[in-house]
Amino acid sequence: MGYIPEEIIDEVLQKTDIVSVISEYVSLKKRGRYYFGICPFHQESTPSFSVTPDKQIFYCFGCHVGGNVFKFLMLKEGVSFVEAVHLAARRCGVHIPEKQFNSALSRDYQKKQRAYYVLEKAADFFRKCLEADCGKEARDYLKKRGVNEQAIKLFKIGYAPDNWDKLIKYLTKLYGIGVDEIYDVGLVVKSKAKYYDRFRNRIIMPIFDVLDRVVGFGGRALGDSLPKYLNTPETKYFNKRHLLYGLNLAKPHIREEGFVFVVEGYMDVIACYQFGIKNVVASLGTALTLEQVKLLMRYTDEIVIAYDADDAGIKAAMRGLDLIQQLGCRVKILSIPDKMDPDEHIRRYGREGWQELLKTAKDLIEFKLEKLTDNTSVSVEEKVFVLKNIVPNLSAIKNLVELEESIKKVASALNVSVDSVKGELSTYKKEVKTKDKIKPKLESKKVKINPNSAEHLLLSLVLSDYDLYLLAKKEITPEIFDNEGYGNIFKLLIETEYKLKLKPAKEMCHLNEKEQKLLTYLLSEQQHHERSLEEKMNMLKDCISIIYESHKKRKHQELVNKLKEAEEEKDYKRVNNLLYELQQLFSSEKGGKLFYGRAEK
Reference 203, options 170, 157, 143, 167; nearest CA is 157
What are 524-563's pLDDT values in tens digits?
A: 665 665 677 788 888 999 999 999 889 888 888 888 888 8
What are 168-185's pLDDT values in tens digits?
A: 999 999 999 999 999 999
Residues 136, 202: one domain? yes
Cα–Cα distance measured from residue 124 to residue 219, given in angstroms and rounded to the nearest whole number: 15
Report yes or no on 330 lying in a domain. Answer: yes
Domain end, chosen from 190, 222, 238, is at: 238
pLDDT of residue 597: 38
Cα–Cα distance measured from residue 331 to residue 321, given in angstroms and rounded to the nearest whole number: 7
What are 73-84's pLDDT values in tens digits?
A: 999 888 888 888
pLDDT: is 154 or 314 the higher one? 154
Domain containing 35 equals 6-105
pLDDT tier for residue 100 given thresholds of 50, 70 and 90: low
Q: What is the mean pLDDT of residues 308-322?
A: 66
**Res 154 pLDDT > 90:** yes
pLDDT tier for residue 301 given thresholds of 50, 70 and 90: confident
Reference 160, options 203, 114, 107, 106; nearest CA is 203
**Res 129 pLDDT > 50:** yes
Residues 195, 65: one domain? no
For residue 222, the 8-state DSSP code is S
pLDDT tier for residue 104 given thresholds of 50, 70 and 90: low
**CATH number of the structural domain spanning residue 334:** 3.40.1360.10
What are 389-418's pLDDT values in tens digits?
A: 899 889 888 888 989 999 999 999 898 999
pLDDT of residue 161: 97
Please give the mean pLDDT across all residues of the chain.
86
Residues 422, 458: one domain? no
Residues 384, 337: one domain? no
Half-sphere exposure of residue 320: CA atoms within 13 angstroms, side-chain side: 30
Residues 593, 457: one domain? yes
What lies within 8 Å, CB to CB, of 562 at 6+ separation is 574, 578
Pairing of strands 302-305, 330-333: parallel
**CATH number of the structural domain spanning residue 199:** 3.90.980.10
Cβ–Cβ < 8 Å for 161, 134: yes
pLDDT of residue 601: 34
pLDDT tier for residue 436 given thresholds of 50, 70 and 90: low
Q: What is the 3-state secondary structure (H, E, C) of 197-209?
A: ECCCCEEEEEEEC
Residues 312, 247: one domain? yes
Residues 218, 156: one domain? yes
Cα of first residue to Cα of last residue in the chain, in angstroms, is 37
pLDDT tier for residue 446 given thresholds of 50, 70 and 90: low
Residues 182, 219: one domain? yes
**How many domains does the structure of the chain reveal?**
5
Residues 207, 276: one domain? no
Domain end, chosen from 299, 334, 360, is at: 360
pLDDT of residue 592: 32
Residues 95, 114: one domain? no
pLDDT of residue 572: 78
What are 356-394's pLDDT values in tens digits?
A: 999 999 998 998 888 888 656 678 888 888 898 899 889
For residue 594, the 8-state DSSP code is E
pLDDT of residue 590: 38
pLDDT: is 594 or 304 the higher one? 304
Q: What is the mean pLDDT of residues 19-48?
A: 88
pLDDT tier for residue 231 given thresholds of 50, 70 and 90: very high
Domain end, chosen from 442, 470, 493, is at: 442
- Going from the C-alpha of 444 to that of each of 20, 32, 410, 472, the distances in angstroms are 50, 52, 40, 20
Report yes or no on 146 lying in a domain. Answer: yes
Residues 210, 299: one domain? no
Report yes or no on 117 lying in a domain. Answer: yes
Cα–Cα distance measured from residue 309 to residue 319, given in angstroms and rounded to the nearest whole number: 15
pLDDT: is 6 or 405 the higher one? 405
Half-sphere exposure of residue 282: CA atoms within 13 angstroms, side-chain side: 23
Residues 352, 328: one domain? yes
Report yes or no on 1 lying in a domain. Answer: no
